Amino acid sequence: MNTLIQDCINSKFSKTPIWLMRQAGRYLPEFRSIREKNQDFIELCLNTKLSSEITIQPINRFGFDAAIIFSDILLVPYALGQQVNFKKNFGPDLNKFDLNILNDVKKEDFLEKLNPVYETVKETKKKLSISNKDTIGFVGAPWTLLLYMLNRKSPKEGNFTIFPKDKYINSILMKLDQFLKIHIEAQIRSGASIIQIFDSWAGLLPEKDLDYFVYKPIKSLVDFIRQRKTISICFPRNINSYKKFVDYVNPDIISIDYNVDPSIIRDTIEIPVQGGLDPKILLQNKEIVRNEVTKYLKTFDKKRYIFNLGHGVLPETNPDMIRYLVDEVRSFNGQ
């Protein structure tokens, strides 16, 4: 039997599928209680028992149509030999990058370090097997990872310099392409039915640099995923032209941010669309939430649309509002 997302892609409309980026996380008390006892975030991501439990928490509570594996895009730099720490109220903090270390990484060692993630995918798949839901694996896009690896912390808008397209940068991008494919393949082999590619910082680049840093590297991954008969979702956050991105990269599904007008997306893009709702809306009252949810559902009515947000669920979100959101999306379908 197909999942709701597969049906949506094949234009078999029943219900609008819904899942949320960062659906497993700090807004959930059941996550916070595990997190309090596990201070090291990377270690938590590499604890199969706990990460598969965290992955399933929002499914048990809200019945989302897909589970995204509880892990992080920065586990790849970690497995490539760069230390990553998550500091409270600061975000990720990476050690100095060293190309010599990256050049020495062996495929076997990389796979061994990340093996608990693949076990989490298997465990999640097992837990979902009777409920016919998708298991979503993911990677950070090469550009966003390159930025974290060289900037060593979250880039603030305007507070970073774009790298030259020289031999040094090119060799890092080539290595990322190679190891991201290894990571994608292992997640698919373990049971991921969808791979989402997060390019959270695509919007920082000027138009002239997109080809080199965004379109080409992501297309290479999308083609790889397609060869393995797996669904790809791309999220090039805050990019100026989603149309140009889709025309070049041609993923199965495009995930949009909240700054773009959804009716322009609907009128210019043919492929299935995901997301859009501003996560800050979920901090407002129910009437505002209902109006905004209805706006997205009406805009994409009779189109292939997967309900999601324009970025991750904020930690201060009340879980009752997520319950309300899911009920609203489900009842719109029932009309």
Binding region for ligand CP3 (CB under 6 A): 21-26, 35, 41, 68, 70-74, 86, 91-92, 138, 154, 198, 200, 312
Q: How far apart are CA 44 and CA 285, in angstroms?
A: 34
Longest CA–CA span in the chain (Å) reads: 59
In the complex, least distance from residue 10 CB atom to ligand CP3, rounded to whole angstroms: 25
**Beta-strand relationship, 91-94 and 84-87:** antiparallel
What is the chain's alpha carbon radius of gyration, rounded to the nearest angstrom?
19
In the complex, least distance from residue 74 CB atom to ligand CP3, rounded to whole angstroms: 5
User: Which residue number has the CB closest to ligand CP3?
Assistant: 200
Closest CB to ligand CP3 among 17 and 299? Answer: 17
Closest CB to ligand CP3 among 73 and 173? Answer: 73
Contact (Cβ atoms closer than 8 angstroms) between residue 100 and residue 155: no
* 3-state SS class at 131: coil
Closest CB to ligand CP3 among 71 and 124? Answer: 71
Quick one: residue 28, left, alpha or beta (phi over 0 = left, psi -120 to 50 = alpha)? beta
Closest CB to ligand CP3 among 37 and 208? Answer: 37
In the complex, least distance from residue 32 CB atom to ligand CP3, rounded to whole angstroms: 8
In the complex, least distance from residue 44 CB atom to ligand CP3, rounded to whole angstroms: 8
Closest CB to ligand CP3 among 28 and 293? Answer: 28
* 3-state SS class at 138: strand
Tokens 């798949």 locate to: 125
In the complex, least distance from residue 45 CB atom to ligand CP3, rounded to whole angstroms: 8
Closest CB to ligand CP3 among 210 and 299? Answer: 210
Q: What is the DSSP string of 192-205?
A: -SEEEEE-TTGGGS
Q: How far apart are CA 55 and CA 280, in angstroms?
A: 23
**Among candidate residues 121, 258, 286, 259, the one with its CA nearest the CA of residue 195:** 121
In the complex, least distance from residue 147 CB atom to ligand CP3, rounded to whole angstroms: 9
In the complex, least distance from residue 68 CB atom to ligand CP3, rounded to whole angstroms: 4
Closest CB to ligand CP3 among 303 and 319? Answer: 319
The amino acid occupying position 203 is G
